[in-house]
Amino acid sequence: MMESMELFESSKDICFESLFNLFKVNFLWVDAKGYVLGCNKEILDFFNMTDVNDIIGKHHLEFSSQSLWETTQEVIKTGNSITAEEILTKENGEAVYFLSMKSPIKAKDGK
């Protein structure tokens, strides 16, 4: 049984990355300070990036807007999920309207 758990633990990153790339929605996760920990291919395509390392470690405000960051902060602060219509103006001036669903990802201890 222990070998199965160790295998599961070691494969989590690969499994989650593969799973997130199956969805044709923009998906990223940040730490409590707003720095990107990971994303799926849709996010990379949306921001015309080719490598996940182009976005990992960047702060939310480096590629997003103040209003999007504020809703993310609310999720981090309250621990509650949010669904909201949001607007992001890309570098080329194009305004993109989308339905954003943000939820906290918590550790086993609930934090």
How many angstroms separate the CA atoms of 32 and 17, rounded?
20
3-class SS at 35? strand
Can you give the pLDDT at residue 2?
Answer: 44
Tell me the whole-structure pTM to 2 decimals.
Answer: 0.78
Can you give the pLDDT at residue 110?
Answer: 73
Can you give the pLDDT at residue 42?
Answer: 92
| pLDDT tens-digit map of 42-87 | 999 988 999 999 999 999 999 889 999 999 999 999 999 999 999 9
Can you give the pLDDT at residue 95?
Answer: 93
Q: What is the DSSP letter of 62?
A: G
How many angstroms separate the CA atoms of 50 and 23, rounded?
18
Burial class of residue 29 (count of CB atoms within 10 Å of its CB; 0-12, 13-18, 19+): middle
| pLDDT tens-digit map of 1-54 | 445 555 555 555 556 777 788 888 888 989 999 999 989 999 999 889 999 999
What tokens does 32 get? 């409590």
